[in-house]
Amino acid sequence: MTPNKGNGRPKIKMEKMENESNLNVTFAKRRRTLFQKAASELCILCGAEIAIIVFSPSGMLIHMWTLPARFDIATRLDIKSR
């Protein structure tokens, strides 16, 4: 184990990431956090109901909702993957 420097988290520019590998890792991390924050926390803490629809960088459709019964997003949108 070469001791790595461990420079911590750099500040990033708000623009599309160039490096595709980093982009995919970042997308996975942030998507996870987004869903957890949105679904688990905002819903539980505040009694909100949330639906999120995402097209990933590669065009994949991801969706989630915490709506108990108010309406059925998937049905009403007739969601299909591309």
Rg of the chain in Å (alpha carbons): 17
* Residue 42 dihedral angles phi and psi, to the nearest 5°: -60, -35
- Whole-angstrom Cα distance, residue 55 to residue 82? 10
Residues 74, 61: contact at Cβ < 8 Å?
Answer: no
Site for DNA in 53-82 (CB under 7 A): none
Site for DNA in 13-52 (CB under 7 A): 17, 19, 21-22, 24-26, 28-30, 32-33, 36-37, 45
CB of 44 to DNA, least distance (A): 11
Q: By CB under 8 A, tell whether 16 contacts its own copies.
A: yes
Q: Which residues bind DNA (CB under 7 A)?
A: 1-2, 4, 6-12, 17, 19, 21-22, 24-26, 28-30, 32-33, 36-37, 45
